[in-house]
Chains A and B, each alone.
Chain A
């Protein structure tokens, strides 16, 4: 066999500096995120549990408390936060230090693939090549998420909420870019099917060492906007079972109120507009937990001692 030097034995640069370019990207990401106080992943693993609505309402609830808030819609294939936060038609200003995010209600800064696509019905597609898409699609989406994090001129933020699309692989993708993710809110409904999927996500964020992990129980009951009657939407009690099995706290139980959906469709999340309603109160509880300094009540990775929040689970 011929003997010649291998990659590790060759120190000379080729002029491409590919490694240096990758390290530059990491530095850029680190510099950008250094201005962000707390990054909160709003995830589930399961689709259709209301992650985006939770993200939009939590964002305006935090902003109503005077916090500087950014929202990153990581759902590249099914973006909705541009519409939910009323900025879908906003143009993005290009600056040398980054792309200026759109500004939604109460100054919430938003980036979403919705703002980058010129047609409402445009599926997420990348130019060329037209074959073997399944091989490189994922790497392009990882690139887009990295650029959303690193190339948006977020400015100083107290909170950056990342709406993570369904699929535990999407949570992992975020964790690779933000390995020190401080908070993960896992959204679930009382349905048994959600419980089984969210369990996988819980394991993933725990194994990644996310220091603060909590559950948000969404659509726990139906709230009639006319008579105030409350009723069950789902049979089962999947979120409380999740809390018992995982030891995670439930930070809030958010009832289903048709007005929430209507208002969010109009781009005006109701949480900050109607402070007296049960939906707004639920989000106020999440805000209060986020504002608390990390302590023993917050879930520690791998800890079996976490328990359901007594205010919301009893």
Chain B
């Protein structure tokens, strides 16, 4: 899918994506030559088709989360089916940095509760960002405080 500015004969570039929450999607494209903007608006059915392809209009800021489509689109289930190793139940000592390639970052119950407040359609992406942040810094236990620090470090205010 490409948009061509006929006046300038330039391919318009993706500028912004909005998900109003009613099943529709808006993607803004702009002509790099004349700055003319246009918005692509999809109805819920068209949005669902795009979703089923597992692609993001405008590109991906972060890699797709495993089973992203199922967990964000399934009614009566989805994200709730996934467990996180929690606190000491995971057998991890929070004071010990994770070794390279460590498989899991432990989310505390408080952090999980906070994550649950994130809208489901972006929860997977947000979770991945925080988990990667913690993993890259050798943090094995992810707390609300870690989330605050990550938001500040990564410029993610609002997540």
Chain A residues at the B interface, C-beta cutoff of 8 Å: 2, 4-5, 7, 10, 12-18, 21-22, 24-25, 91-99, 115-119, 122, 124-129, 131-132, 135-136, 139-140, 142-144, 146-148, 151-153
Contact = CB atoms under 8 A, between A and B. Distances in A.
B2 A94 contact: no
Contact of A21 (B3, B4, B23, B56): B56
A140 to B, nearest CB: 5
A147 B68 contact: yes
A12 B11 contact: yes
A129 B69 contact: no
A134 B9 CA distance: 39
Nearest to A128: B23
B73 interface: yes
Contact of A14 (B29, B75, B128): B29
Contacts of A115: 81
B76 A126 contact: no
Contact of B45 (A10, A17, A136): A136
A181 B60 CA distance: 31
A118 B77 contact: yes
Interface string B4-16: 1010011111100
A148 B70 CA distance: 9
B40 to A, nearest CB: 10
B2 A10 contact: yes
A153 B104 CA distance: 13
Contacts of A92: 81-83
A300 B79 CA distance: 43
Interface string B62-81: 00101111111111111011
Contacts of B149: none
B1 interface: yes
A118 B80 contact: yes
B76 A16 contact: no
B84 interface: yes
Contact of A151 (B12, B44, B67, B81): B67
B159 to A, nearest CB: 18
Contact of A129 (B48, B56, B72): B48
Given A116-B74, A147-B68, A18 B55 contact: yes
13 contacts: A16-B14, A16-B55, A21-B54, A22-B54, A91-B81, A115-B81, A116-B70, A116-B74, A117-B76, A118-B77, A131-B45, A139-B53, A152-B66
B85 interface: yes
A6 to B, nearest CB: 9
Given A14-B12, A135-B45, A151-B67, A142 B52 contact: yes
B2 A93 contact: no
A83 B154 CA distance: 43
B74 A93 contact: no
Contacts of A7: 2
B100 interface: no
Contacts of B70: 116, 143-144, 147
A122 B103 contact: no
B131 A143 contact: no
Given A14-B29, A16-B14, A129 B44 contact: yes
Contacts of A126: 48, 73-75
Nearest to B120: A127
A12 B1 CA distance: 11
A129 B73 contact: no
Contact of A136 (B3, B52, B71): B52
**Most chain A CB within a 10 A radius of its CB, from B67, B78, B83:** B67
